[in-house]
Each structure stands twice: as C-alpha cells, then as structure tokens.
Amino acid sequence: MGVPKWTPANEVTMREAYLLKRLQRTKKLFRFLREHRLDLFDDAFQVELASMYRSTDEGKEPVPPAQVAMALLLQAYTGSSDAEAIENMVVDARWRMVLGLLGPEEDGPPFSQGTLQRFRERLIAHDLDRRLLERTVELAKKTRGFDFKKLPKTVRLAVDSRPLTGAGRVEDTFNLLGHAARKLLTCAAAVADMAPQELADVVGAPALHASSLKRGLDIDWNDPEQKAQAIKKLVEQIDRLETWVQQELEDAAEEPPLCELLATLAQLREQDLEPDPEGGGPRIRKGTAEDRRISIEDPDMRHGRKSKSTTIKGYKSHLAADLDMKLIVACNITPANRPEAEALPGLLEDLGRYSERNEVGALHIDRGYVASDTVRDLAAKKVPIVAKPWRPHQSEVFDKSAFKLDLARFTITCPAGQTEKIRLGTVVRFSPSACDPCPIRSRCTKTALGKGRSVTIAADERLQKKLRLRLATPAGREQLRERVEIEHRLSHHTRKQGHKARYRGLRKNLFDTRRHATIVNLEQLQLAEAA
C-alpha cells in the first residue's frame, strides 16, 4: 500500500466561491491557502513528505502526508489544540475548504488526533519542518508579489531573538528534589509490582508519597533552622529510596526509565546541594550553579535574561529574516541561559541549505550576537556587520571613547598623552608613575594613588571600532535602522505563537517556532500578492 498523494480539485465549487468571497476581509489566509495549496505542496515536496513512510500492505488506508501538514499549518494559524483541530475539520467550513473536504454532505474528520501527533513526530524526526519553512520562500517565486530578478544574489540577513517561557513547571530546590524522587518512587513501584504507598513505607520515605512535599515535611517554612533540617530529612529519604532501587531492582535500575530518573536526582544533588560545614550532611547551595536545571518535566528549560530588567524561564527564540524579501528564512531555539551568539551557526547552516540566495551579503544583528566566532569569520570575509557597538559604562571619569586606540600599532593613548601597548582581549593598565602626578587624574580615575587607570580591550576591538565609526555617520545610522524589519517579523511571530511555549523540549519548540514562522511568511506573501 503506497503513500497517497494529496490531489484536491483546483476547480472552485459554488460553495467554495461563497466562502472565498466572505474571506476577502478577515482570515484572508484561508483564501490564500485554498488558492495556493498545490503550489505550497507541489509534487516534489509531496515526494519528500512521503519519504517519511515506508510502503506496506498492512494497516489502515494511509492519509496523504501533505493534507496532514496543511492541517498542522491551520492549527498554528488558528491557535487550536490537537483535539480542536480534529473538531474543526468537521465543523469549520474554512478548514474543510482548504483541506479539500468541503462537499455536499458533511462527514467525519479525514484522520484522527493520534495521526496528527504521529505525523508531527515524523516531521521533526526527518527535519521536514525546516523544509516547510523553506517552501514559503520557494513559493514566493510563484506569487505575484516578488520579482526575483531584482533581488541581490546574496542575502541581507537580519537576526533577533525574544523570550519564550517554557511549558514545564519551574520549581525550587525542595520541590525539584521531591518531584524527581516521587517519579522514581512511582516508576520503581510499578517495576516491583507494588503500590507507591507500600514502597514508600518499605524504604521509610513517607514525605515522597504525601499529597505535597511541604505537607509531608510539615515544618514552619519561615524558620531557617527548620528548613535546614528539612533538606537533610528529605535527602535521607531519597538516599534510602535510591539504595533500595539499586539493590532490589538491579538490572532494571541500569535501564530506562529508572536509570534516567536516578541520573536526574544525581544532577539535582550536584547543582543544588553542598556539604554543610556546620551541622554535617547537605545544605542548599549558596549561589546558583552554572547551567542549573529548573524543571523536572522539561529538562531543557533554563533561567536567563534578555536584558537587565527582563528575566526568562525557559528559552530564547531566534529568527533570521531576509531584509529584501521580508521573509523569515531560518529559526533556532536555545535555552534561556545561553548567549545569543550560540544561535548564529544553526541559523546560517539552515540558510546554506537553500538552493539559491544561500550566502550572507550583510549581517544585521544586535549587540548580543556580536561576540561570536561566526561574526568574526564573516567580518574576515569582508561581509558587512551592521550592529550597534557596545557602549562605554557611564561614569564620572573619562570613558573608553576618550582614549585613542591605534590598532595598527597596538597602542592606546590616554587624554593626557600617555601611551601603552595593548593586546586584544586583555586589560591594559597605565603606569602609576604616569597617572599619580597627572594634572587631570581626578577626571580619569577614582583609584587610590599607586594604581593607574585600566581600560578593557575587547577581543573584537577591530570590529567594535568599525561599528563606532558607522554609528557616527548619517549613512551608517540609516543602515542600522534597516534592522527594524526583523523586529516587525519578530513581533508578528510573537502574536501568532504567543509568549509561552506550546511543547516541552528544545526540538519540539523549534518545530513550533518554524511552523509559526511559516504562517508569518504565508501572510506576508498574501499581503504582497494583494498589493
């Protein structure tokens, strides 16, 4: 039994014509998708989608993959859940029209909720959600809104990011340990054919089977001493549970899911606990561990910052847009604690997969992406980097801009004319013998006598100097303003996807980011065609 091709009729029926007329003012993308569904899912792309399946004579009659993919797009466009998407295929005439289901008689959905979920998993496994986004760029050639002959051969690429709150529950140390231990208790009890309450009694871990951990520990949570004793009590119960699992279940403890749950508890101990130097046993760690896990249900979520005032509990979503086409060409997702620069290689790799216009002609980014090997490599290839330079810290003394940097001779000269040698990526310190008697010392440094002025020299100081020079010219500032296009795309994408992740885990949220970027592009194509 082969994988069927999706072949909805091109002819517009009277009922479809009525719907299309009503969709001229609102929800116009339904109309655009009905008109261009076989352009988006052409024969070649349908072959790609069919490659996710093997031909077999077993099982149920297969569903055309392109039809399920279109349903995923409609789901993103309307913000529907999986269950709502299946229902919409029955009760919403707009969905039925786009999916080729609109007929004289109404019937049930063409596939089940399980089929939708399994198709999504296949799409992710074969990286075809990326191709879905690429198809919108390829579709632009077939619409009336773009003249590809006038486009430059290389891409003026703009990149920006936004916070994406994770779908997993964020918990403190007590609840992280308790949550992970309860999962281990439940899983171990199932393997041992016991009730969780029975196992908790056997190992002596009553807090792990209480209705809530804090009820199980039953202390005054405002008392620091009681909290200190409670963490010791909790860890003792977890120790007893782990020992029982490793001794009584042996082989099963070496296999998933038990080994994964044991590894999670080990990770939480390492990141959140440390030896108590006073009372013995563990205590909650002072300070925050690097790359600290914050959720049991979503192991990829992290605490991070978008700015000094904006904290993130989850992820950063990164979009790359073609400034000439005004289309999103690549997406990436990173944990919230990772620097923006780490997203660039993946974005450029996806750009490189396009059959044409797959090289960067200019890169428009914000400051967070500048400190990147990728940016330095592009700059070395004479690719223009358009970004604002890092601003000197505001203070009562001369900032870095008051010093003269000579990157040809690798020297720096202070406002008083004193010169020192520099090295990139280091801190240069002026001699105290020159700074102490300097007549303008009070305007240059607040350090005590015997210590000279210091200036940080960035590893990318050459690039920063170019960025400062560009910012000082009207033409350079005009270039910087061109980046507003990616901000518009990012805002549009946020309105579609929302501020909170739909799924758990990096890869599923990358799928959802790409899917909503596909919708943003399709709406842009619809606007360009209507103009």
Dihedral over alpha carbons 137, 142, 143, 149 (to 10 degrees): 80
Instruction: Kindly state whether residue 273 falls inside one of the protein's structural domains.
Output: yes
Tokens describing residue 274:
């440390």
Instruction: Kindly state whether residue 196 falls inside one of the protein's structural domains.
Output: yes
Beta-bridge partner residues of 259 = none
pLDDT at 55: 58
Structural contact between residues 333 and 356, judged by C-beta atoms closer than 8 angstroms: no
**pLDDT-above-70 percentage for the chain:** 98
Map residue 270 onto helix, strand or coil: helix
Same domain membership, residue 118 and residue 29: yes
Characterise 276 by phi-psi region: left (phi > 0), alpha (psi -120 to 50), beta (else): beta
The whole-model pTM stands at 0.92
Instruction: Kindly state whether residue 192 falls inside one of the protein's structural domains.
Output: yes
Q: What is the DSSP letter of 79?
A: T
Which secondary structure element, helix H or strand E, spans residue 363, and what is its range? strand 360-364
Distance CA 204, CA 240 (A): 7
Same domain membership, residue 182 and residue 273: yes
pLDDT(255) > 70: yes
Structural contact between residues 430 and 452, judged by C-beta atoms closer than 8 angstroms: yes
Which secondary structure element, helix H or strand E, spans residue 275, and what is its range? strand 273-275
Same domain membership, residue 207 and residue 120: no
- Which residue, of 244, 263, 284, is where some domain finishes? 284
Same domain membership, residue 235 and residue 177: yes
pLDDT tens per residue, range 131-178: 999 999 999 988 766 777 889 999 999 999 999 999 999 999 999 999
pLDDT(59) > 60: no
Same domain membership, residue 20 and residue 91: yes
pLDDT tens per residue, range 264-319: 999 999 999 999 988 789 999 999 999 999 999 999 999 998 777 789 999 999 99
CA 97, 103, 107, 109 dihedral sign is negative
* Count of the separate structural domains present in the chain: 2
Same domain membership, residue 178 and residue 75: no
Instruction: Kindly state whether residue 204 falls inside one of the protein's structural domains.
Output: yes
Beta-bridge partner residues of 328 = 321
pLDDT(57) > 70: no
Average per-residue pLDDT for the chain: 93
Distance CA 75, CA 516 (A): 10
Instruction: Kindly state whether residue 510 falls inside one of the protein's structural domains.
Output: no
pLDDT at 282: 96
CA-based radius of gyration for the chain:
29
Q: List CB contacts of 367: < 8 A, sequence separation 6 or more.
A: 387, 388, 389, 390
Instruction: Kindly state whether residue 520 falls inside one of the protein's structural domains.
Output: no
- Which residue, of 110, 126, 142, is where some domain finishes? 126
pLDDT at 394: 66
Same domain membership, residue 122 and residue 191: no
Instruction: Kindly state whether residue 151 falls inside one of the protein's structural domains.
Output: no
Reduced 3-state DSSP string for 157-222 = EEEEEEEEECCCCCCCHHHHHHHHHHHHHHHHHHHCCCCHHHHHHHHCCHHHHCCCHHHHHCCCCC
- Which residue, of 253, 284, 315, is where some domain finishes? 284
- What is the extent of the structural domain holding 179? 173-284
pLDDT at 146: 72
pLDDT at 396: 85
Instruction: Kindly state whether residue 416 falls inside one of the protein's structural domains.
Output: no
Same domain membership, residue 276 and residue 189: yes
Tokens describing residue 423:
């090295």
Tokens describing residue 483:
């980046």
pLDDT(529) > 70: yes
Q: What average pLDDT score do residues 16-28 get?
A: 93
